[in-house]
Every structure is written in C-alpha cells, then in structure tokens.
Structure 1
C-alpha cells in the first residue's frame, strides 16, 4: 500500500531531483513561465509557492532561506521585489499549470507552469526592448 507516501521520484535519485527542482524554481522566477512535463509541474508548484511566501514575508531570514534554495541572487532580488509586490494582496495560488498536449518523442504529457499575473505581450515587449 502506498499510504503516506508523498512526492514523485520521477526516475531520479534524490540529489538529482533536488538539483532539478532548484534549477526549475530559479528558471520559473527568472522567466515567469516554463514548459515542462505535467508531473514535474505538479511537483514544482508547492516549492514555488513556498518561495513566493518567503518573498512576501520579506525579512532577512526569509531572504537567506530563499538564497539557500534559489541558485541566482538576482532572481532572489526579483522574487523579493517585483514578484512579492505582485502577489502582496493574494493569499495563495500564485502559479497556474496549463496542459499543452504530449511531447513528440516519448508521448509525455507536457504542461506550462507560470505565475498567475504573467502576460505574454508584456514579456515580449520587455525582452525586445
């Protein structure tokens, strides 16, 4: 029986899983939207939401906790600045998972995980400018 087993192994060792999720959280906050498999997105969501909650707290200890997980200090600065301001009045549910179909090579179900306030037109304008 699988009672009280939480999380997915995703065919990786625990250290590989931890490194993968750290990289994915960093990329999610840097680009505000990433494409991944549905299972990885479902596992990434609670980690990302905890990081946003740390950003909303905004104290030094929360910043150090975020720096111990997120790989780039610039991304932590963005998390505690604009992302925390964006979700200041929101109680939870900071991310959205959109299923997009299957991957051509191995038929894996793909999904987009993004921050709730993500707007493609604004993101395209900032990357072009």
Structure 2
C-alpha cells in the first residue's frame, strides 16, 4: 500500500531525482521560466517556493542552506538580491504553472513553470563610438 507518499518519485532513484530537481530549480532562477512536464514542474515548484521563502531573509545560514542545492554562485546571488526582494509582500505562491499542451513524442502533458513577478532588467546604455 502506498499510503501517505508525500512526493512523486518521477520513476527515478533518489540521487537522480535530487540532481534533476536541483538542476531544474537552478534553471528556473536563472531564466525565470522553464518548460517541462507537469509532474516534474509540480515537484520543482515545491522546492523553489521553499527556497524563495528562505531567501526573503538574507542571512549567512539561509545562504548556506540554499547553496546546498544551488551550486552556481551567480544564480544564488540573483535569488537573494533580485528575485527574493520582489516577493517580500507575498506569502507564498511565487510561481505559476501554465499548460502548453501535450508533447508530440509521448503525449506527456507539458507546462511552463515561471515566477509570478519578473526581475526588472537593468538597461545598459551603450555609448556611441565617436569617429573623428
């Protein structure tokens, strides 16, 4: 009997599942949206929501806890400096899942997992090269 199974194993062993979720969460924070299957998106969403909640309080302990799963320092800094401040007034619900239809090869239900708030891109003004 499979009573009280609290997560989807995604037909993978524990190490593969953990590595895949870490990679997908890192990609989500790097690109602000990813396209994947519905089952994977729902599992990654749980992990991402917990990370954003923890990142709202920028402390050494919280950075180290999240750094266990996000090995890319640039993405880790982006999470704490750009993404988490957008959600200071929001108590959860930081991501949304948009259905995009079924994949052609195996008819798997595909979705887009994205952040509800988008970080504002800093516009860099290019100086025109003067020719004398």
TM-score, normalised to structure 1, is 0.89
SS of 2:56's equivalent in the other structure is helix
1:1-129 alignment runs, 5 A limit: 1-118=1-118
Structure 2 unaligned regions, length at least 5: 127-132
1:23/1:71 contact within 8 Å kept: no
**Distance in 2 between the 1:3 and 1:18 partners?**
22
Structure 1 unaligned regions, length at least 5: none
**Distance in 2 between the 1:19 and 1:4 partners?**
24
1:41/1:111 contact within 8 Å kept: yes
**Distance in 2 between the 1:80 and 1:62 partners?**
10
**Distance in 2 between the 1:112 and 1:48 partners?**
14
Q: CA deviation at 1:9?
A: 1.4
1:54/1:62 contact within 8 Å kept: yes
Q: How many residues align?
A: 124
1:37/1:111 contact within 8 Å kept: yes
Q: Tell me which stretches of 4 or more aligned residues in structure 1 moved more than 4 Å.
A: none
Q: CA deviation at 1:54?
A: 1.4
SS of 2:105's equivalent in the other structure is coil
**Distance in 2 between the 1:2 and 1:67 partners?**
32
